[in-house]
Structure formats: structure tokens, C-alpha cells
Chain A
Amino acid sequence: MLSDRRPILLANAQIVDPSRDLDMQGDLLIADGVIRETKRGIGAAGVPEGTEAIDCRGKLVAPGLVDMRAFIGEPGAASRETFASASQAAAAGGVTTIICQPDTSPAIDDPATVDFVLRRARDTAIVHVHPMAAITKGLEGKEMTEIGLLKAAGAVAFTDGDKSVTNAQVMRRVLTYAGDFDALIVHHTEDPDLVADGVMNEGEFAARLGLLGIPKTAETIMLERDLRLVALTGGRYHAASVTCGESLEVLRRAKDAGLNVTAAASINHITLNENDIGPYRTFLKVTPPLRAEDDRKLLVEAVANGLIDAVMSDHNPQDVETKRLPFAEAAPGAIGLETMLTAGLRLVHNEEIGLMALLRAMSTRPAELLGLSGGTLRAGAPADVIVVDPDLPWVLDPAELKSKCKNTPFDEARLTGRVVRTIVAGRTVYEYV
């Protein structure tokens, strides 16, 4: 870890700050852990003594990413991922804030565990880490957790991970009670009875592979229920991972009706489709499942127009024992901290989405939803900044990944663009050389 805390001048860069729709050529000055100013030609005269000046010609400077959904194995599954390894991966991928998920062992469902996570992350992680806490005790979908105390302890939002709260009465009470604390409820929307033994998107492709399908309705029906409960209770709600056009319609209606509702899509669902599973590639088994190309395109469009607020990594490290299995028996999940930006840049290069919209969904919006101070390059904001070479071609070698597990769907993929420097609170924590 590079711990130099000299002032940094990122000079001659293309500065992109979605928090104020700013896209300009210029310089950005960092000192004392905060962003001082962004403007054209700050120059040597305008910087404090000892400033490290970095020429960023041809490069992008943007707010560090805020990843709303990453599984880290602490406590309980440190062999899969630790705060240390996850944060190394995050830094290499331009993620300066990780929001870790509570589906650990034990679950993050009491203030003491939140405290453990925060201390552990402070001592071992090189990027910011904030936990979400469980909605229900033990993620069992029955009794609500101590939402007030958990929030006071540092939980930035509440979720049962990739489990859905199936009992509508429990969900109603949670939304009602959470509203009193202005707590954000983040929900994985999949009806487990409709998912049943399904392992991939329902349709022709699943039928050809002889795999049982998961209908899109399993997601949309739960989302629809939730949004009606939000209308009833007035709570603050975020759909954790939407994957299909039908869900977008439901979401659109709720937003148009003025409900306090937001949504995210995973990087996997906006860059991959069910066909990428090919001959039973278990690294592409995720939950909810990858959908058809039509849905993927609709998701990208929704990210571009802001209907989908955030794009997250859905980072889920799985080791060989849980992935080198027949498709139906393999655990779902893909790592993504290290590749979310570069995978997203694919969409930018293909002109499917603008750079500003992509970066907004990966930094500014998630920071706003979670009430965090990152996601902006405004003067006075914490200096969580990334430098990106948008045109650098490279091939992903799983052996070079920092994550403890190598279950990336972009295994040996040709990629264009990568993070060359990541700065967290004014310190360079990653540099690509």
C-alpha cells in the first residue's frame, strides 16, 4: 500500500464529474485528503509545495466508484474473501467504497457485528467499507432487526442479501418501521416458489440445455408487491437487482407515481446475456439469472436514462469447490469489483451508453442513495478519485485478479480501458504500471 499523502495534481485530464454534469479538460488538485479544486490550468504556481504532479493526458479523472452490493466473507467465510483482499480488488477496479452485504456467517443483524465489520475493515481494507445490515434476524424473513440501533452503529441500508422477504406482512411492517428512521430497505426481488428448482433464465436456451428455468415473473411479481407496499407505507425502497423489461415497467410506474423508490442492476446483467452461458459455464450462473439480449438492452437504456439509478458489481466470490460442478449444482455468483468499470466501458465503446451516465450510476447515485459523501469531485469532497485510461486494450488473466476467488465471467476476455490509479482519501492505493 502506497501511503504517500503529499498533495496530488492530476493534470491535463478529461475530468468527468456526474454530480454536476461536468465534462472538461483540466486539472484536479487534491490536498489533505480532500478535493481542492477542478479547473483548467491550475499550474505549478497554484499548488502547495511538494505536490506530486501527474500528467493525465488522454486519461479520465472521475469520482471513485461506490459499489452498492458486494459479498465479503467476513465474518465466517474468510477463505472466499476478506476485507483486505476485497479492497485490493476494489482498488484495482476503481471502487473506492464497498457496501458489503449482511449474508455472512453470522449474519450482520446486530449492532455488535456492524461494529466488528467496521473495525475489521478500518484495520485491513485500503478502500472505504460500509455494511448493510439484515432486514430480518438471521435473514429468515420473520422478525425485523434493530433497524434504529443498526443504523446508528453504521449500517448504511438494510437487505437480506439474495434472499427475499416472502411474507408480505413482515415486509409491510419493515417498510413502515424503517420509514421512522429514514432507513433504506434494499430488497432482492425473487419469489422463491416461482424460482423453485430453476437455475437459469426460462426460455428456449434453458430448454435446449435441459436446465429448469426461472421465469422473469418470479422477479416482477415480487417487485410489484413491494412497490404496492411502499405506496401503502411510504418507506424508502431500493430494488437490489432488476433484470428484465417487465420489472422496468413496474418501476417506471412507481417512480411516475412519486414513490420513494430506486433500483440497481448488476454489471453482469447489463453486459452479458443468457447465451454467454454457452456450454454450461458456471461462472455465468448468477442470481437473478442472466436474461435474454432484449432485456439486457432495455436495462442499459434504463441506466442511461436514469430509471435504473445504480449499477453494482454483485461481487460474489465462489471457489473451485462450489463452481466446478454441474451447472444446476454450482453456487450462483460472480466476482465483479475488479471488472465492473472496465466491463461498463465496453458499453461506452459500443456506444450503448454515455460515459457520464455510466459513471453516475456507479458513483454519484449510489453515494446519494446511501447518504455517503463520495461520488463527486466537488471542492471539499473526500478525495476518492480514479484515473482511467479508457482506450487501453488488455486481456483479463484470472491469475492476476486480486480477489481470493477467480470466478469471473470475463475470464480471458478482451477488454478496453482500465483503471490506472485509484486514490482513496487523498492517498494513492492502487497504481497500474
Chain B
Amino acid sequence: MNIAPKSSFVLSMRHLLGIEGLSRADISGLLDLAEEFVELNRQVEKKRTSLRGRTQINLFFEVSTRTQASFELAGKRLGADVMNMSTSSSSMRKGETLIDTAITLNAMHPDIIVVRHHASGAVELLARKVDCSVINAGDGAHEHPTQALLDALTIRRNKGDLEGLTVAICGDILHSRVARSNIILLNTMGARVRVVAPSTLLPPGIERFGVEVTRDMREGLAGADIVMMLRLQRERMNGSYVPSMSEYFHYYGLDEKKLSYAKPDAMVMHPGPMNRGVEIDSIVADGVHSLIREQVEMGVAVRMAVLEALSRNLPNA
């Protein structure tokens, strides 16, 4: 069974560098297209041919398992030739600059480059130096657009619509690109966003992002439809941002008690990889309210949708 997608949505831009700049219609269009791929991915025959002949390079300057695997599968299922490059094997280790790497890869005529980099703005910098489409797979603490899209798809499938929902994003907002992309997307789609974190993990100026800010999980989760937990890096819990893992878990770790402050049908999300017992209790992570595994599934579908929608814009498409 290999029918053409019903949605003919085209993303009217060359790159996907962030959620910033996407309209409500863009986001809905991508999510609708992704829905079709969810169905496709559940079939035995998952292959499409829309990216046949296209070359996709996954350029990861920062280690990633799930995002890279997800983009690789997405590209392959659409028929693209996918090449993975990561820092451990690339010449970045030999001192080549980001721009030189971009120019080198550009000379090989890829159609799409998927980039993750540890520095905010690095993907945009690279995009200016290449002729192909660039997809941001996470840049520093700036944006991670496909994560926000997969989160939105997951929420939409479980709650019907994003508009009017209350979403609590909890944890290390300061260092999180996931939080930034989600805040922008959820605001665009008419959801009500709260951020919950200790003050040391909130970026100064966050109150001007159109979100409600609180330092208290009970207050932040009250009446929430969605509780979105963020990963806290281990090096940030040794006294630099929070005093200890156990104090952090005590006040901000999502356990059943804290989850009970949210709506009875509230759902729990986490972009992964999880620190069980730090920001989330295993009982909650694996419980009936958890959407964490579904998020991973939606990840592949959303990335297929992004690749498909951008490729419809490529020359000779």
C-alpha cells in the first residue's frame, strides 16, 4: 500500500530553523501531514518514494540517539539516501570550523541537512552558507522545532485540540531549547503556558514570553491538562544551579502526589532521555498518564512531515 499523501501542504520556506516564524496554518499543516505518516508507520510496508534520489545528511555536533535515529528513519522511509555524521568521527575534531564543514558538505550537493549543534544560532549560521534545505535538530538553548511539533502532535491526538489547554512546562527552562520551541508553538496555537522551575533555572526575562511563571509545582500544575517535564543535566545539580538531586526531586520531581494537583485526566510528557528519580518518578513515567512512548512514535511521523513539506519546495520537486 503506497498511496500519495492526501495533504498537499507545502512549507513556504527553505529551512526549518525554529518554531519562531511559523504561522498557525504552517503548524496545523505540518501536524495534519504528520497524522498521515503515523498511519503509514503502523503498516508493514512503510516506504514512500517522495524523497527518492534526494540526499539527506544528518550532521550532529552533539551526541543524540533518539533524534538522530528518528531523522534517519524518517528520511529512509521517504526514500532518501541518508548519511549520518557526528563529531566523534568528523573533522570538527581536527579543528575544522562549522562554516568550513558546511562549505565542504555543500559541495557534495545534499538536498537536506539536518543539524544539531551545542551553540545557539549555529544552525542558522550554517544555513546561510549552503544551498540546500536545513532542518534544525536542536541548537544550544535556542530551538528544537521538531520536538515541539512532535509534542504538539502527541497532545492533539490525545486532547483533540491545542487551543485552550493549560500546559505546564517544568524544570530546567534556562538551558532548554525544548522549552523555548514549545512555548512559542503553544502560544501560537492558543494554549495557556505555565513554566515551573526554581529561579536559578529560569532565564531572566521569561515573564515576557507570554507565560505564567511560578516556582511552585502545586501552583503550576493546578488544573493543568498537560505536564511537560524537562531533563536536568547532572552537572547542574551539584550545587551550581540547585543544591542536590534529592532536594530537586523533593520540590520539582514529578511524582504521583504532585501529578494529583493537575486535572484528573492530565497527561505527562518528557522529551527524553529521562533522569528517573531526578525530574520524574518511574511510576509516573511508566504510568497510565504517560505519553512519553507515544512522543517517540510521533517523532518519526513529524520528521517525515517536515522532510516531505520542505522537499516539496526543493528545486525539481
- Which residues on B sit within 8 Å (CB–CB) of A203? 204-205
Q: Which of A183-212 contact B (CB under 8 A)?
A: 202-212
Q: Are A210 and B142 in contact (CB under 8 A)?
A: yes
B314 CB-CB contact with A under 8 Å:
no
Q: Which of B82-129 contact A (CB under 8 A)?
A: 97-99, 117, 119-122, 124-125
Known contacts A210-B177, A211-B141: does B119 contact A329 (CB below 8 Å)?
Answer: yes
B257 CB-CB contact with A under 8 Å:
no
Q: How far is the CB of B173 from chain A (nearest CB, A)?
A: 9
Q: Are A326 and B119 in contact (CB under 8 A)?
A: yes
Known contacts A210-B177, A211-B141, A328-B140: does B120 contact A280 (CB below 8 Å)?
Answer: yes
Q: How far is the CB of B142 from chain A (nearest CB, A)?
A: 3
Q: Are A206 and B205 in contact (CB under 8 A)?
A: yes
Q: How far is the CB of A7 from chain B (nearest CB, A)?
A: 53
Tell me the bound Cα distance from A321 to B100 in angstroms: 11
Known contacts A203-B205, A204-B205, A327-B120: does B141 contact A210 (CB below 8 Å)?
Answer: yes
Q: Which of B180-226 contact A (CB under 8 A)?
A: 180, 203-206, 208-209
Q: Are A208 and B180 in contact (CB under 8 A)?
A: yes
Name the contact of A324 in the complex, choosing from B97, B141, B209 (C-beta under 8 A).
B97
Q: Are A207 and B206 in contact (CB under 8 A)?
A: yes
- Which residues on A sit within 8 Å (CB–CB) of B124? 279-280
- Which residues on A sit within 8 Å (CB–CB) of B122? 326
B143 CB-CB contact with A under 8 Å:
yes
A417 CB-CB contact with B under 8 Å:
no
Q: Are A206 and B203 in contact (CB under 8 A)?
A: yes
B139 CB-CB contact with A under 8 Å:
yes
Tell me the bound Cα distance from A209 to B18 in angstroms: 11
Q: How far is the CB of B203 from chain A (nearest CB, A)?
A: 4
Tell me the bound Cα distance from A328 to B120 in angstroms: 7
A213 CB-CB contact with B under 8 Å:
yes
Q: Are B121 and A279 in contact (CB under 8 A)?
A: yes
Considering the complex, give the chain A residue whose CB is closest to the CB of B141: A210
Q: Which of A384-431 contact B (CB under 8 A)?
A: none
Q: Are A210 and B139 in contact (CB under 8 A)?
A: yes
A112 CB-CB contact with B under 8 Å:
no
Name the contact of B208 in the complex, choosing from A204, A325, A328 (C-beta under 8 A).
A204
Known contacts A207-B209, A326-B98: does B203 contact A213 (CB below 8 Å)?
Answer: yes
- Which residues on B sit within 8 Å (CB–CB) of A328? 119-121, 140
- Which residues on B sit within 8 Å (CB–CB) of A210? 120-121, 139-143, 177, 180
Known contacts A209-B142, A210-B180, A280-B124: does B206 contact A327 (CB below 8 Å)?
Answer: no
Tell me the bound Cα distance from A349 to B204 in angstroms: 35
Q: How far is the CB of A289 from chain B (nearest CB, A)?
A: 13
Tell me the bound Cα distance from A244 to B96 in angstroms: 38
Q: How far is the CB of A276 from chain B (nearest CB, A)?
A: 15
Q: Are A280 and B206 in contact (CB under 8 A)?
A: no
Tell me the bound Cα distance from A141 to B177 in angstroms: 37
Q: How far is the CB of A299 from chain B (nearest CB, A)?
A: 21
Tell me the bound Cα distance from A193 to B209 in angstroms: 27
- Chosen A-B contacts, 6 in total, with CB atoms closer than 8 Å, are A204-B204, A213-B204, A280-B125, A326-B120, A328-B119, A328-B140
Q: With A210-B120, A321-B97 given, name 19 new contacts (CB 8 A).
A: A203-B204, A204-B206, A204-B209, A208-B180, A209-B120, A209-B121, A210-B142, A210-B177, A211-B121, A211-B141, A211-B142, A213-B204, A280-B121, A280-B125, A325-B97, A325-B99, A325-B125, A326-B122, A328-B140
Closest 5 CB pairs of A and B: A204-B205, A210-B142, A326-B119, A280-B121, A207-B203
